[in-house]
Amino acid sequence: MATLSPISSISLSNSSLFLRLPSSRSSLSKPTYSPMSIKALSAPVLTQDQLKKLAADKAVDYVKSGMVLGLGTGSTAAFVVSKLGELLKEGVLKDIIGIPTSKRTEEQAASLGIPLSLLDHHPKIDLAIDGADEVDPELNLVKGRGGALLREKLVEAASAQFVVVADESKLVDGLGGSGLAMPVGVVQFCWSYNAKRLQDLFKEEGCEVKLRMDGDKPYVTDNSNYIVDLYFETPIKDSRAAGAEISRFEGVVEHGLFLDMATAVIIAGSDGVSVKTK
């Protein structure tokens, strides 16, 4: 039986050991990589005017042929009027009548071929569409920074439906909360007397009162009134009580608190267009 003896040592004295190294072109060479950059694709950021147009286009979906329409005033309302003119020209809408809330809106609508009339002749309006300067969670509004608050309130109060269009920057927790103007229309006679009374009324809100100017002269509305703008440090605590108190002042024509009037508010924002209703 064969036996295996342990190998105690290996002698390399009379032999040579060769180790072949791979060449640079060998399949064992390490692969090389080119740097690669990945750019994330982000959605385009819409401008405020683009957001307003989105909301305006959505609001026009409420319009049907044959309606009497209240036409608002301001940058957002202008998009609505423009869209109505476009749909009339294309024949999508027919037999609508517009009741403008300002001379500016009247001129724009007339230039687009929209038939116009007066609230005197059409006291019942099917639908009014307008913008807003502030919108609170209860869909109460501040309006009138465009100077047409009296005519806007007359027309929109006479409307069966009042649809508001705005971008998300107009949303506030409480009216006056944006820190921007809440307008009050006053007669020219003794306007400063009423400005002082308004400032005293809102002392707790830290109200600052300014006469609206047009260059170096007071701004004059379509109805020949002045506008006193109220700027609040904190939101108005009770908008309904505030509106009632302002209206009690002799010489006050109208204020920019539009309370319990909106039936729907269309908001355009970074997440798209949403509709809020009561």
Instruction: Report residue 2's pLDDT band, with 50, 70 and 90 as the boundaries.
Output: very low
Is 277 part of a structural domain of the chain? Answer: no
Indicate whether 194 belongs to any domain: yes
Q: Is the pLDDT of residue 43 over 50?
A: yes
The number of helices, as runs of H, and strands, as runs of E, in the chain is: 6, 15
Structural domain span for residue 161: 48-270
What does the pLDDT look like over 212-269, one tens digit per residue? 999 999 999 999 999 999 999 999 999 999 999 999 999 999 999 999 999 999 999 9
Structure tokens at 23: 């060449």
The domain tally of the chain equals 1
Q: What is the pLDDT of residues 113-163, one digit of tens each?
A: 999 999 999 999 999 999 999 999 999 999 999 999 999 999 999 999 999
User: What is the Cα–Cα distance from 147 to 73, expressed in whole angstroms?
Assistant: 9
In a domain, 42, yes or no: no
Residue with tokens 């994330």: 40
- Asked, for residue 80, whether it belongs to a domain, the answer is yes
Q: Is residue 111 part of a domain?
A: yes
Measure the CA–CA gap between 263 and 278, rounded to whole angstroms: 7
Which of these is catalytic: 134, 152, 156, 254? 152
Q: For the purposes of burial, counting CB atoms within 10 Å of the CB of 41, is it exposed (0-12), middle (13-18) or buried (19 or more)? A: exposed
Is position 1 within any domain?
Answer: no
| 200 within some domain | yes
How many whole angstroms separate alpha carbon 71 and alpha carbon 120? 15
Q: What is the pLDDT of residue 9?
A: 40
DSSP string for 216-240: TEE---TTS-EEEEEE-SS--S-HH
Backbone angles phi, psi at 166, to 5 degrees: -160, 165
> pTM of the entire structure?
0.82
Span 58-84, average pLDDT: 97
254 as an active site residue: the answer is no
Average pLDDT score, the chain: 88
| pLDDT at position 34 | 52
Residue 3 placed within a domain: no
103-111 vs 75-90: helix crossing angle, rounded to 10:
20
Q: With contact defined as beta carbons under 8 Å apart, do 72 and 80 qualify?
A: yes
- What's the pLDDT at 270? 82
Question: CATH no. for residue 244?
Answer: 3.40.50.1360
